[in-house]
Amino acid sequence: MRINPDEISKILLEKIENFEDIPNLKEVGRVIQIGDGIARVYGLENVMFNELVKFQNQQMGLVMSLEPDDAGIVILGEYKNIKEGDLVERTGKVIEIPVGDELIGRVVDPLGTPLDEGPKIKSSKTRPIERKAVGIIERQPVNVPLQTGIKAIDAMIPIGRGQRELIIGDRQTGKTAIAIDTIINQKDQNVLCVYVAIGQKNSEVARTIERLKKSGSMNYTTVVVAGASDPASLQYIAPYAGASIAEEWMFAGKDTLVIYDDLSKHAISYRQLALLLRRPPGREAYPGDIFYTHSRLLERSAKLNDELGGGSMTALPIVETQANDVSAYIPTNVISITDGQIYLESALFHAGFRPAINVGLSVSRVGGAAQTKAIKKVSGNLRIMLAQYRELETFAQFSTELDPATQSQIKRGQHLMELLKQEQYSTMTFEEETVSIYAGVKGYLDDLPISEVKRFEKALLEKIKKNENRILDRINKSKDLDADVEEQLKIFLESLKKEFGGK
């Protein structure tokens, strides 16, 4: 077969005309300074704030400072193998973390890498760790309770699904204990939990995880860990990663609970990064945007409207104070962002009142809107009774003779304080709380010795479950304490009182 040269020329000309040479261009820079987890890089002309970059040794970094001549990059991990002159490449991406049901029951670092010796997380979905909070129109009022299983909180400082409630107090006052008890109490409540450990000792985190496993709570919990030995960069991004994991479930219409333990250490890690990046220090050497750092995190908690699925994300941030100073910079910042605070006091803790909640200084700005009718009915006067007791107790120290009414109020207050004591890991259902608080508020404990209060409560709960379980069932189903159930409860309490030799 004879080939026509004109045809060959025509084909070649067409190929040349249609040829597109798209070079694979990468924007790279060079490290001009490295130290303390911060790299200064020259040559990344178009790099963006919060963009991920890749170093020559495959280590990742986060752009946190844009100067006229160079970019300040925070290294996410080990930085000792990076040296001056190394190439740095733009990725055009922001930090993302794997999300979805694959993370339930797992322990991960803030980049989504497993820390629990389990298989690699094969999630088809990722989310950027930073996301703008949903607006006002996309939200609905908080009105569904999130039961903590702790009588003092559920009765007087109620938490609703979608709320942000701060847990604040000195070190070793039981802040983490309240958070862990709240996670344990979400069993069979259809709430997925995320526990973010920031700057904690590895032994403490291991103990917490072991406790969650023992109680079966890891079946609905994800733990995000940036320990004390991890770089400040990982501690800084940890709470945002935890929020993104919970957000995925929230937008799928589920209820979630996130615990940030704790934001004091998070603020310290951010201060460290800011000072190394040569940002001007402000009050207590924190950078000027420390308020925004926490507000953009906590504002992501919400109760979504029905059009977006009605999911919720409840946040329990923890803040540690020094010598009960709630007027320090970080505590006042976080108090102003959240919807209330649970204030724990060292004096109460050492006096044996645990959980060591100072009811006078603790508040929930959602209040009764997030309480069941039953709890609201029985605990309506509880806070007032305790406030009067505290006032009279102080007054009684200066007076020897008190009138019978004052003595009665003091006695009632002492019994209620004893009743509100609760051991760690012994959470209660809301109907058990209702019955227990009812007994205290209505005076069934008043003529018992203080030492007998806990024994009476234990007997009350054991016998009502065994003999009168229908009372608990009706409270559980109706979420209310109607006249008929209250009458049955009175009869039961009076018969139990006789067993204890009461009047």
Which residue bears the tokens 């990468």?
26
The pLDDT of residue 217 is: 96
The pLDDT of residue 489 is: 93
- C-alpha–C-alpha distance, residues 154 and 380, integer Å: 12
Residue 365 is a catalytic residue: yes
The pLDDT of residue 486 is: 92
The pLDDT of residue 20 is: 64
* pLDDT under 50: residue ranges of the chain: none
* DSSP at 327: T
The pLDDT of residue 407 is: 84
Kindly list the structural domains of the chain, giving each domain's residue range(s) and its CATH number in brackets, ordered by start. 28-90 (2.40.30.20), 96-371 (3.40.50.300), 377-499 (1.20.150.20)
Q: What confidence tens digit (pLDDT) does each residue in 203-231 have?
A: 999 999 999 999 999 999 999 999 999 99
The pLDDT of residue 392 is: 85
- C-alpha–C-alpha distance, residues 295 and 317, integer Å: 11
Looking at 365, 383, 412, 455, which residue is catalytic? 365
The pLDDT of residue 408 is: 86
The pLDDT of residue 19 is: 66
Close Cβ partners of 135 (under 8 Å, ≥ 6 residues apart): none
- Give the strand pairing for 340-344 and 38-42: unpaired
Quick one: tokens of 284? 């207590």
The pLDDT of residue 491 is: 93
**H/E/C letters for each residue in 263-276?**
HHHHHHHHHHHHHH
Closest by Cα among 168, 154, 234 to 428:
154
Which residue bears the tokens 């919990």?
221
Q: The pTM is what? A: 0.91
Residue 1 CA to its chain's centroid (Å) = 80
Measured between alpha carbons, how far is residue 21 from residues 17, 27, 77, 236, 458 in Å? 11, 18, 38, 43, 81
Q: What is the enclosing helix (H) or strand (E) of 237?
A: helix 232-250
Identify the burial level of 396 via C-beta atoms within 10 angstroms of its C-beta, where 0-12 means exposed, 13-18 middle and 19 or more buried: middle
The mean pLDDT of the chain is 92
Pair 62, 50: CB distance under 8 Å:
yes
- C-alpha–C-alpha distance, residues 71 and 129, integer Å: 21
- C-alpha–C-alpha distance, residues 88 and 101, integer Å: 35
Backbone angles phi, psi at 494, to 5 degrees: -65, -40
Q: What confidence tens digit (pLDDT) does each residue in 298-356 have?
A: 999 999 999 999 999 999 999 999 999 999 999 999 999 999 999 999 999 999 999 99
Pair 233, 37: CB distance under 8 Å:
yes
The pLDDT of residue 12 is: 76
The pLDDT of residue 400 is: 62
